[in-house]
Structure 1
Amino acid sequence: MITIYHNPRCSKSREGLHLLELEGRPFTVVKYIDEGITKEELTRIITMLGIKPIELVRQKEKVWIDNFKNRQLTDNNVIDAMVSHPNLIERPVVVNGNKAVIARPAQRIKQIL
């Protein structure tokens, strides 16, 4: 099953959603800003992406700058920050089975379809 972690207020996320709609395959939308995301789910996504947690952080967000920038953080601390402040998560993220991409640009979604 394909899942898109989507923020409707983000143009890049809307582009990813539109691409999935055009593909015509079934998919699930997770509005993680409203619904939240568990630490386990986020950790699983980061593992599938094959990146360090800090690489999924939107480091220009005010909450990051005010609360986390220039601090010594473990990977666990970074994940906790994203769970507590889901707007820090880069978007959109699309998962298909055991593969995932940060869909920036949206065409990257096709790599995992």
Structure 2
Amino acid sequence: MSDVTLLHNPRCSTSRAAQDEITAAGVDADVVQYLKDPLDADQLRALLAKLEDEPTDLVRRDAAFKELGLTDADVATADQVVAVLLEHPRLMQRPVIVKGDRAIIGRPKDRVPAFLAD
């Protein structure tokens, strides 16, 4: 098991860029395609506990978010974020990089090299 985990969507260019940064840094990483293997409630809570970003930032505010009738008020707390992502894993921000007891959302892309080097 590696010290770094990449929560990855291969269809996302930013997620692919993070994977390329990890490879370029020579870091051994576990790659989890979270749409094929969604995180369960405990895994999401553990991720939120490590996340340096606000819990609400883990939820994408894209067209699907709006189509589902969701608002910022629906993802204001960690418990709400977990509930929404359990039901709609595709709304999870990507990429997410976990290193030890810390995690970040890899947006913008320039956050990834600095996080890996830390």
Q: TM-score range by the shorter chain?
A: 0.7 to 0.9
Percent identity between matched residues is 30
Aligned residue number for residue 90 of structure 1: 93
Aligned residue number for residue 112 of structure 1: 115
Q: What letter matches 2:66 in structure 1?
A: I
Q: How far apart are residue 5 of structure 1 and its match? A: 0.2
Are the counterparts in 2 of residues 19 and 106 from structure 1 also a CA contact under 8 Å?
A: no
Separation in 1 of the partners of 2:109 and 2:53? 19
| 1:10-89 aligned within 5 A | 10-62=12-64, 64-70=65-71, 72-73=73-74, 75=77, 76-89=79-92
Deviations 1:56-110 (A, max 9, x none): 1111232x21334248536223311112211101110000000111111233123
* Structure 1 residues 52 and 106, CA gap change in structure 2 (3 angstroms): closer
Are the counterparts in 1 of residues 59 and 85 from structure 2 also a CA contact under 8 Å?
A: yes
Number of residue pairs matched by the alignment: 112
Q: Report the secondary structure of 1:65's partner residue.
A: helix
Separation in 2 of the partners of 1:5 and 1:109? 13
Q: What letter matches 1:66 in structure 2?
A: E
RMSD: 1.8
State the TM-score, normalizing by the size of structure 2: 0.83
Higher helix share: 1
* Structure 1 residues 72 and 42, CA gap change in structure 2 (3 angstroms): same
State the TM-score, normalizing by the size of structure 1: 0.86
Separation in 1 of the partners of 2:95 and 2:26? 18
Q: What letter matches 1:2 in structure 2?
A: V
